[in-house]
Amino acid sequence: MVYTAGTMSPVVSNRRRSVLPAVLAALVVSAVAVRCADVQAAEAGKTTGLQMLEEIQAVITDLAEATKPSVVNLFPVTPSGKGRDFLQDRTPNSPGSGSGVLVDSDGHIITNNHVIGDASEVEVRFSDKSKLIAQVVGKDPDTDLAVLKVTSDHPLPYAKFGDSSGVRVGQWVLAVGNPFGLDRTVTLGVVSGIGRENVNLSRYENFIQTDASINPGNSGGPLFNLRGEVIGINTAIINFAQGIGFAIPSNMAKQVLQQLVAQGRVVRGWLGVGIQPLTPELARKFGVTDNEGVLVNEVFEKDPAAVAGIKPGDIITRIEGTVVDTPNRLSRVVAGLQPGVMTKVEVVRDKKRMVLDVALSERRDQAVVASLPPSRTDVKLGLDLQDLTAALADKFRLRETRGVLITKVEPGSLAQSEGLREGDLIKEVNRVDVGSVGEFTAAISKVRRGETVLLRVLRESRAFYVVLKAGDP
């Protein structure tokens, strides 16, 4: 049989027509099966997702229930002529109220110093509505922390400290306190930042930042991690912002607590230097990179740094292996060390690194931080100078006998913009001592127009460095 193009065997054609319905039916069944599987998978996914959310929710609710009993409401007791054991009735949001947290079985409570103020006794309200009077064990204004103690005839619930050095940005936290007198309010959030300083709330700042809602009355209350451990003591908010609160790290709080309980005060290490931030201009003059350390502008006579050989112009980069890249951090690290401890201090001097052993003493005052505005360029120095005399030294309360005194600062000049003023005493020009106007002029004459000039300046009893860009010498 011959077939022409476009024709096909009748047998083949009939066979194909009989197979197609079966194939289509199989495809339909398969599609339906896939669709059913998809629906079942989606339903299963929804169920699994909901279960996960419910499990997370259960963790949070269980955490809240477990932590709330350790949080207390505090009211400083003011003299009122009433008996010692009289518990005043106060409105829930009365001024001076705040929060605290029990931290051991002995009845110690940690809170903020600003919550306690000058009170020696504090009314404590517990989650079961009972009340006790707490005695103030000690206060530390430098960290804004205070410790109280209550005595009870039955065990009190308390929380445990966690390790704040392991806190990470993004982790969940729970803040518990008494905002506006609303007892044991719980808010959930995340850690928004760590190591926050220069907030100007206390001398030693290393705050944990959180977006867990903190309001007036939360001060002194705990910040918990998901394990129910205290990782911070809530201390402040930024009034004009939302979701920006700060907590004192638990490691700092624990150290303060231990010292206040043991000896009623906090003892801190003392290095004996004046310091200032290392600006980009100063970094270039001293031959280091930006933010590599902290500039020493003054070394106090007979103090630990002086005895160990630290000098003005040294850049302190590490203390006991810890990087110190801001004045606040340097002060905090030194303060955290015990007096009498031999401490290794790494410095950069004339672009050379060295490690000095320093025997810290007890802090008697804070290191002085001098901060000046960033330099402008291509303007004259704008200074009138004079040799220092005994009369001028007395007038400007200077204990020096030699130096170059600034007698006038031209308005609008670079010197004024850098914070220099009448009565400042110039002691060095580009790391060279200058004791007279002649020596100052000789040192400046070596500076070419457009180059920077590093001055070490003494103001009353404090020194600092400043960088100027020379115009006409």
Q: Is 217 annotated as a binding residue?
A: yes
Q: Give me the residue label for tokens 């402040």.
A: 236
Which two three-digit tokens encode residue 47? Answer: 């169920």
Task: Tell me if 234 sits within 8 A of 221, measured CB to CB.
Answer: yes
Burial of 145 (0-12, 13-18, 19+ CB in 10 A): buried
CA distances from 126 to 68, 69, 131, 177, 277 (A): 10, 7, 6, 12, 46
Which two three-digit tokens encode residue 472? Answer: 């006409």
Total Cβ atoms within 10 A of residue 472: 7
Q: Is 218 annotated as a binding residue?
A: yes
Strand, helix or coil for residue 141: coil
Q: Is 220 annotated as a binding residue?
A: no
Enzyme catalytic residues: 114, 144, 219
Could you tell me which residues are beta bridge partners of residue 245? 210, 237
Amino acid type, 213:
S
Total Cβ atoms within 10 A of residue 384: 12
Contacts of 409 (CB under 8 A, 6+ apart): 382, 383, 384, 415, 416, 420, 421, 422
Task: Tell me if 158 sits within 8 A of 104, measured CB to CB.
Answer: yes
Q: Is 144 annotated as a binding residue?
A: yes
Query: Per-residue DSSP letters for 24-42?
Result: HHHHHHHHHHHHHHHHHHH
Q: Is 83 annotated as a binding residue?
A: no
* Nearest in space to 115 (alpha carbons), one of 81, 77, 149, 153: 77
Name the binding residues: 114, 144, 217-219
Name the binding residues for substrate: 114, 144, 217-219
